[in-house]
Amino acid sequence: MSGHVQVVLHRTARAQDGVAFSLAVPSDLSFVGDAVDLAARHCDVGVLSQRRLQFNLRTALAEALANAIAYGNHHDPSRLVRIEVACRPDAVRIEVADDGLGFDPSQVPDPTAPERLEREGGRGLFVLRHLVDTIEFNERGNKLCLVLRAG
């Protein structure tokens, strides 16, 4: 393993605007657990219930980060995945960006189809969609934005 996860806390103008921070994660899957842990700890500001923070946010971020590392940056540790997090009173918003060529999310097949059920992979996006309130991709498909509403 080389490199480390870098966290930068941003100043927000007023306390009621919540907290914002960014993480830069080298594209090595062994960093996923630590990066998710760091993000979840910084998000523990009362916007999300403990249950949604410890399960939905952690699992969703692990999926998004693993996809960016593997498919976006092709496991190249010198390339970074950038995560921007804003915890506001009404929602937690997370952007995950890699510098890959992107993909078309509509082309990902349903992993619950009987012929795919016993495959090892292909569930990431499906799981991700069920864990967050909204998910949006940029046009290129190399950046996604996840929103978990407060509560």
The residues binding another protein (CB under 8 A) are 29-33, 36, 51, 54-56, 58-59, 62-63, 66, 111-112, 117-121, 123-124, 126-127, 130
149 sits in the region (left: phi over 0; alpha: psi -120 to 50; else beta) called beta
Q: How far is the CB of 93 from another protein (least distance, A)?
A: 20
CB of 66 to another protein, least distance (A): 4
SS (H, E, C) 55-95: HHHHHHHHHHHHHHHHHHCCCCCCCEEEEEEEEECCEEEEE
Can you tell me whether residue 127 is helix, strand or coil?
A: helix
Minimum Å gap between C-beta 11 and another protein is: 31
Rounded distance between C-alpha atoms, residue 73 and residue 101, angstroms: 9
Q: With respect to another protein, which residue has the nearer C-beta, 20 or 108?
A: 108
| Helix H or strand E encompassing 37 | helix 32-42
Residue 58 or residue 143: which is nearer to another protein going by CB?
58
Closer residue to another protein (CB): 63 or 98:
63
What is the smallest separation between the CB atom of 142 and another protein, expressed in angstroms? 19
